[in-house]
Amino acid sequence: MFKRLTWMTMGTGFGFGLALWCRRAVRVRVERYRPAQLGRRIGVSVRGVGERLHAAADEGRRAMREREEQLRRRHAPSGAVRAHR
């Protein structure tokens, strides 16, 4: 009889603890995807993408200018290096 009481008590405690843990996990996920949180996260992501695109465009322009300058030096008549913008 004591074995049954022990296992029943342990099972009840485990079930209660698991129920509390599941409730907390669901609450955290619901909070994470609420409209206000989701909107903020999307805003941060969009800003990050915009900043990366801007940085990539700047890097591309810089590389383009460097390459143009290399080509102008390589193909310019001897002694005549033209300055272009």
Instruction: Judge whether residue 81 has pLDDT over 60.
Output: no
**Cβ-defined contacts of 76-81 (< 8 Å, 24+):** none
DSSP one-letter string for 40-71: HHHHHHHHHHHHHHHHHHHHHHHHHHHHHHHH
Residue 15: what pLDDT?
A: 92
Give me the pLDDT at residue 44, please.
80
Tens-place pLDDT, residues 26-68: 988 888 877 777 777 788 888 888 889 999 999 999 999 999 9
Confidence tier at 1 by pLDDT (50, 70, 90): confident
Residue 68 has a pLDDT of 94
